[in-house]
Amino acid sequence: MSFSAPVLILYGSTYGHTENYARWLQEKLANAGFAHTTTLAISDVDEDALTDASIVVVGTSDYGGFLNGASTLRKFLPQLENKKLFFFTVSFNGLVGSTREKLDEKVVKSFTPALVATAPTFHLRGGLDHTRLSTTHKTVLQGVRVALSTKLKKNLGNQQMLESFSQGKADYSDPESLNPLVQTIVEAQDASAS
């Protein structure tokens, strides 16, 4: 099956994990039959790119509850209102260390309830390379390390975060975790073609 609807994949990435997911998604959508897909950093988006797209997928990295690129993309809310929208976030823990409700709430808070109301949202895992972190992120993560060390009941995400400090890095990125998003986009396109 082939789809003619142009897809724009936007990403806000700090250390590259979200950008990797955006590129993997572009490849997966091409393999699923989408003939026209473009991947673009949110910082480079303009009205023309949004006008040309029928489907917009927004991927943002989550650092301490702030979604990378959200403030830039909010400037284009009028252009996004009539698009088929899909969101994905990338964080160290994803759904391993948080609930869907909490992660969805960050997307709603960042992109307005009206815009997100009918847009499917997915939450993926990324990684940490402590040698590449900015001074600010290192400082914040030291506070996280102390808090997690004293926590009596640690979930898997907490344990893996603590392990990342001793190992220097950890990466839980998985291109296969994009499959449900790809399937949702294909199903939405099938439904609109009928």
Q: What is the pLDDT of residue 194?
A: 62
Q: For residues 107 and 166, state if they share a domain.
A: no
Amino acid at 50: L
Q: For residues 73 and 31, state if they share a domain.
A: yes
Q: For residues 62 and 90, state if they share a domain.
A: yes
Q: What is the pLDDT of residue 112?
A: 86
What DSSP state is assigned to residue 126? -
Burial class (CB in 10 A: 0-12, 13-18, 19+), 108: middle
Q: For residues 167 and 88, state if they share a domain.
A: no
pLDDT tens, residue order, the chain (194 aa): 788 899 999 999 989 999 999 999 999 999 999 999 999 999 999 999 999 999 999 999 987 778 999 999 989 988 998 899 999 999 999 999 889 999 999 999 998 888 888 899 999 999 999 999 889 889 988 999 999 999 999 989 999 999 999 999 999 999 999 999 999 999 999 877 66
Q: For residues 119 and 43, state if they share a domain.
A: yes
Q: For residues 59 and 96, state if they share a domain.
A: yes
Q: For residues 86 and 40, state if they share a domain.
A: yes
Residue 2 lies in a domain: no
Q: What is the pLDDT of residue 56?
A: 97
Residue 103 lies in a domain: yes
At how many degrees (to 10) do helices 156-167 and 135-150 cross? 130
Q: What is the pLDDT of residue 115?
A: 85
Strand locations in the chain, DSSP E? 7-12, 37-41, 55-63, 66-67, 84-91, 121-125, 127-129, 169-171
Q: What is the pLDDT of residue 192?
A: 76
Determine the straight-line distance between the first and last CA of the chain, rounded to whole angstroms: 14
Q: For residues 79 and 36, state if they share a domain.
A: yes
Q: For residues 62 and 115, state if they share a domain.
A: yes
Q: For residues 21 and 110, state if they share a domain.
A: yes
Question: Which domain, by its residues, includes 23?
Answer: 7-126+172-193
Residue 1 lies in a domain: no
